[in-house]
Amino acid sequence: MTQFALFFPLLTLVVISLAGTAKVEAATGLNPPVKLVWHYYKVTNTCDDAETYIRYQVEKLYKNDSSIAPKLLRLLYSDCMVNGCDASVLLQGPNSERTAPQNRGLGGFVVIDKIKQVLESRCPGVVSCADILNLATRDAVHMAGAPSYPVFTGRRDGGALNADAVDLPSPSISVEESLAYFKSKGLDVLDMTTLLGAHSMGKTHCSHIVNRLYNFKNTGKPDPTMNTTLVSELRYLCPPRTQKGQTDPLVYLNPDSGSSNRFSNSYYSRVLSHNAVLGVDQQLIYNDDSMEITQEFDAGLEDFRKSFALAMSRMGSINVLTGKAGEIRRDCRITNANYGA
């Protein structure tokens, strides 16, 4: 079985032995330099109970709507993978990141806004929206069954980005293109294979998969790597897109978990049996390293949980603003320059 060294030095490499033969080099720590602090608001005595306030609000909201777990996961990914974890995706505006085509259907904003209101009433101008997003996501996915991984804090909030700055890739790219994208963000094949496992819950629009169902690579046929039963099931839910303005239904990324929104390793079983809904997920079996990792996670939930904890921490440290960079927004939806305007 894979042995994961789960600790947080500046940067350490471990050679992970998979299936007894293949070896994958993967990081076991945060990318240097690590500028964040464990329990930052308690250490700096600025808002001792910030993390407790956040956890309480998340637990209350999750009990009413478990879908906040996959929504916050996607929201955090969409923030961190575009210019770093600076909460710029939370900003509203006619040409903001939110409006980018890749971010259509993003949710979880209301959760962050509610938590921010609570924190502003207790510790005004102290806790960043970027930290709230990272902590709230950790707490929500923990309630869904993921490990309660460490979240280092002390992030500050960035300014607005235009929609055209969003470089999130298509869900239909090849595994080589996917790995190149993750590497461009300082992440590796283990991070990629692990983070894609977040698709064990949540939904996607039919428009992201119709090409796999009806006209894969302009062949007029479905993706040959897709289980024929799954093709039939999804065709029932996702009719061909033949006219402008046609509705774009949502389907579960992992029908095994469905509306329960439970964190599990069943995603990897689906990939191995050619039952992945998204093309980028099915592509994991076409790279030796990601294939070996997929097999390992399918065989053991605990290995996936440990790797998920590290991958989320590593993603959460991408291009963070600290010190005097950025600002601490009073309202996560607008920059301080526009606050009260």
Q: Is residue 217 part of a domain?
A: no
Chain mean pLDDT for the chain: 89
The pLDDT score that the predictor gives to residue 18 is 43
79 known ligand binder? yes
Range of lowest pLDDT (1-5, 31-35, 141-145, 185-189):
1-5
Q: Can you tell me the mean pLDDT for 253-276?
A: 92
CB-based contact 252:203 (threshold 8 Å):
yes
Q: Is residue 45 part of a domain?
A: yes
Q: What are phi and psi of 17, to 5 degrees?
A: -85, 125
CB proximity list for 150: less than 8 A, separation 6 or greater: 8, 38, 309, 313
Tokens 């916050």 label which residue? 72
Beta strand 250-252 with 203-205 is antiparallel
* Distances, alpha carbon 336 to alpha carbons 125, 157, 331, in Å: 10, 10, 8
Q: Is the pLDDT of residue 13 over 70?
A: no
CB proximity list for 103: less than 8 A, separation 6 or greater: 78, 89, 97, 166, 168
The pLDDT score that the predictor gives to residue 28 is 55
82 known ligand binder? yes
Distance separating alpha carbons of residues 274 and 138, to the nearest angstrom: 29
Q: Is the pLDDT of residue 20 over 50?
A: no
Q: Is residue 161 part of a domain?
A: yes
Residue type, 17: S
Distance separating alpha carbons of residues 66 and 78, to the nearest angstrom: 20
State the Rg of the chain over Cα.
20
Distance separating alpha carbons of residues 143 and 70, to the nearest angstrom: 11
pLDDT tens column, 31-54: 555 589 999 999 999 999 999 999
Query: Quick one: DSSP state of residue 144?
Result: T
The CATH number of whichever domain residue 264 belongs to comes to 1.10.520.10
Q: Is 17 exposed, middle or buried (0-12, 13-18, 19+ CB in 10 A)?
A: middle
The pLDDT score that the predictor gives to residue 243 is 76
Q: Is the pLDDT of residue 127 over 90?
A: yes
Residue type, 82: V
Q: Is 212 strand, coil or helix?
A: helix
Q: Is residue 77 part of a domain?
A: yes
Q: Can you tell me the mean pLDDT for 243-265?
A: 88
pLDDT tens column, 281-328: 999 999 999 999 999 999 999 999 999 999 999 999 999 999 999 999
Q: Is residue 216 part of a domain?
A: no
Q: Can you tell me the mean pLDDT for 135-144?
A: 97
Q: Is the pLDDT of residue 132 over 90?
A: yes
Catalytic residues: 74
Q: Give the pLDDT band of residue 14 (cuts 50, 70, 90).
A: very low
pLDDT tens column, 180-232: 999 999 999 999 999 999 999 999 999 999 999 999 999 999 999 999 999 99
CB-based contact 325:166 (threshold 8 Å):
no
Q: Is residue 122 part of a domain?
A: yes
Task: Calculate helix-pair angle for 50-64, 68-80, nearest 10 degrees.
Answer: 130
Residue 331 token pair: 């309202």
The pLDDT score that the predictor gives to residue 32 is 54
Distance separating alpha carbons of residues 72 and 106, to the nearest angstrom: 9
307 known ligand binder? no
Q: Is the pLDDT of residue 78 over 80?
A: yes
Q: Is residue 80 part of a domain?
A: yes
127 known ligand binder? no
169 known ligand binder? yes
Task: Give how many domains the chain has, as a whole number.
Answer: 1
Q: Give the domain range for residue 186.
A: 39-202+253-316
Q: Give the pLDDT band of residue 3 (cuts 50, 70, 90).
A: very low
* Distances, alpha carbon 122 to alpha carbons 106, 112, 125, 156, 187, in Å: 28, 16, 10, 18, 36
Q: Give the pLDDT band of residue 30 (cuts 50, 70, 90).
A: low
The pLDDT score that the predictor gives to residue 317 is 93
Q: Is residue 157 part of a domain?
A: yes
Residue type, 337: A
CB-based contact 72:141 (threshold 8 Å):
yes
Q: Give the pLDDT band of residue 2 (cuts 50, 70, 90).
A: very low
Give, in degrees to the nearest 5, the angle at Cα 288 between 149 and 308.
5
